[in-house]
Structure formats: C-alpha cells, structure tokens
Amino acid sequence: QVQLVESGGGLVQTGGSLRLSCAASGRTLSGYDLGWFRQAPGKEREYVAIINWITGNVYYADSAKGRFTLSRDIVKSTVFLQMSGLKSEDTAVYYCAARRSGSTSYDDWGQGTQVTVSS
C-alpha cells in the first residue's frame, strides 16, 4: 500500500497560481503511476494528470493542458502539480492517487486538499 499526503491547497484569485504536493511513502514507487484527480461540489471526481514514476511521462486531461504541470522528485518520492491561470471552475478538492502501472484502477488515495479560486 502507498500512503499519500497532499498539501499546498488554498484560496487564490482567478488567474493566480498554486503548487500542490503529494508525498508518497510505504512502497517503492517504481512500477507505479501517480495521478491527480479533483472533485468539485456536486460533480463526479475527474482525472487531471498522471505521471509514470519510472519514465516520467506525463499525461494531462484537456482541462489541464497548457495550464498545469505535473512533475516528480524521485529522491523525495513526491509529485508536484503546478497550476497557473486558475479559473473558478478549477475549484475542487484535489486528490493524489497511485496505481500499479498497467492497472486501470487506483488503489491508494490521499485525503485531498481544497483549492478555491475566487473571482
């Protein structure tokens, strides 16, 4: 099992930036993908971005392309989601999740961090 702890959420104005962090522990991350998801009030949880721990390849949802950047620090076993050009529709609880590469399901989840974008 991978333990995940998110941080970095907060209140930001439209057009502003935030960097979310997700610290992983409990298992070696080789062979895992780490992803960010978000859930807005009254909406289903949606995928934001995912990174393969070994290759560093990153995939983004259309809503994140061009505004969000996902990266990793291998030494610290931490992934970062740099968000810029934030919009009100980015307001959500952001979750970090882990899955074994090749799996379709995410088995490990963090507790989430709130991001609120105000106009």
How do residues 1-50 score in pLDDT, each as one tens digit?
Answer: 999 999 999 999 999 999 999 999 998 899 999 999 999 999 999 999 99
pLDDT at 119 over 90: no
Q: Is 27 helix (H, G, I), strand (E, B) or coil?
A: coil
How do residues 65-94 score in pLDDT, each as one tens digit?
Answer: 999 999 999 999 999 999 999 999 999 999
Tokens 């989430």 -> residue? 112
Under 8 Å between Cβ of 76 and 96: no
Token pair, residue 109, equals 């989840």
Chain centre distance of CA 109: 11
What's the DSSP call for residue 80?
Answer: E
